[in-house]
Chains A and B, each alone.
Chain A
Amino acid sequence: MNTRGLRSQLKDSVPVTGLCPQAGPYGVQDSLRRGFSSVKNELLPSHPLELSEKNFQLNQDKMNFNTLRNIQGLHAPLKLQMEYRAARQIQRLPFLPSSNLALDTLRGSDDTIGFEDILNDPIQSEMMGDPHIMTEYKLGIL
């Protein structure tokens, strides 16, 4: 699945805007795909909560794994992360909605309701993502 080596691995972490320029594969600004860039747009997030919300799930996971490591040793988070990685691979094509049932069960979010279930539910969005762009991004070709 990952055909382009390191670059496709890097994209899994959520970038913090302002620290890395929106470089395309040739190192220059990719206006067609990323839109116009302005220094002000990238330095300041449009809302103080934007960054923390984008990274919230990642930060929660990191914190939980750290606690687990401190309490129960290295093997516990290691095994859980392996299971997460396996569950994350059970997906439909990138532009189609996947139920993420295994991942939800592991995380425990199958019996919680948050704002992500009520507001902006992706199943009810009127527009679909462009299949070509999204598949290319997933394979790391973009």
Chain B
Amino acid sequence: MATVSVCQYHRGGFSFENCKRNALLEADINKLGLSSPAARKTGTTICGLVYKDGVVLGADTRATEGMVVADKNCSKIHYISPNVYCCGAGTAADTEMTTQIISSNLELHSLSTGRPPRVATANRMLKQMLFRYQGYIGAALVLGGVDCNGPHLYSIYPHGSTDKLPYVTMGSGSLAAMAVFEDRYRPNMEEEEAKRLVRDAIAAGIFNDLGSGSNIDLCVITKGKVDYLRPHDMANKKGVRTGNYRYKHGTTGVLTKTVTPLNLEVVEESVQTMDTS
């Protein structure tokens, strides 16, 4: 009976009821000198480029939670539609849910129009949703795909601005990856050269940024075909142990051996039935 909302039928969506309480708790915790747990981010290197026949998207595979690696092999290239894929940087949950929602919406939309979906549609849906939430949904995305108008690549920032470019990078390792792109990008490259360039850009992010690491995933999208290469390159394989501290059998010589059988008698046997209903 505490609010007006009790009188109207309860609507779905985000609920801001606990915000004030959370702010108070946060202030109290900070006064004690501790810190509240951080959301899992994908401090990341993601990038994409347009080549002769289509689009190549690349991503690393490390998810961090503060200063600890939460997931050594997470998948950052999300499916939006058969011809459109999206890499996500920022808060991991936000990118997951946003791409799933947009993927569903795009599918419904394409069923309603009767045509295969376009990258520009996905871009507009994403941008309108992210702007609606004013940047509180921390999802920085690289959206790429091939539709009836050719290959397209967009970068989408958490506040809702988008850029349509031939090559883009996002995430904490974006500067390292962009340096590689700026040096070696040419328009209308061949597929192998494009894959190698994206792999090198992500590797630059992995080796020079703490928030990115592990393997390199690639996604090559062309007119009729999608190659989801996961992992394309295991740049950081965990080493194999060279030595072993266990001694081999027979290292220690046996002097004497005595065997004493222990005669145990069954004193009591009780059966307890489990209630498995």
Instruction: Give the B-binding residues of A (Cβ under 8 A).
Output: 15, 22, 32-36, 41, 45-50, 52-53, 56, 94-95, 97-98, 111-122, 125, 129-130, 133-134, 137, 142
Contacts and interface: CB of A to CB of B under 8 A. Distances in A.
Interface string B6-50: 111111111111011001000000000000000000000000000
A106 to B, nearest CB: 15
A118 B101 CA distance: 9
A122 B10 contact: yes
Contact of A134 (B8, B14, B19, B23): B8
A52 B6 CA distance: 20
Contacts, number: 98
B19 A56 contact: no
Contacts of A33: 1, 6-7
Interface of B: 1-4, 6-17, 19-20, 23, 97, 101, 104-105, 108-109, 111-112, 129, 132-134, 136
Nearest to B109: A111
Nearest to B18: A46
The 5 closest A-B pairs by CB, nearest first: A35-B2, A137-B7, A116-B13, A116-B12, A46-B19
B14 A113 contact: no
B158 to A, nearest CB: 14
A35 B1 contact: yes
Nearest to A111: B108
B4 A15 contact: yes
Contacts of B13: 53, 114-116, 119-120
A10 to B, nearest CB: 13
B11 A34 contact: no
A122 B7 contact: no
B15 A49 contact: no
A119 B101 contact: no
A36 B105 CA distance: 41
B7 A113 contact: no
Contacts of A49: 14, 16, 133-134, 136
Nearest to B111: A111
B14 A53 contact: yes
Contacts of A114: 13, 101, 129
A117 B3 CA distance: 23
22 contacts: A32-B1, A47-B16, A47-B19, A48-B134, A48-B136, A49-B134, A52-B134, A53-B13, A56-B132, A111-B109, A111-B111, A112-B108, A114-B13, A114-B101, A115-B14, A116-B12, A119-B12, A129-B9, A130-B6, A133-B7, A134-B8, A134-B9
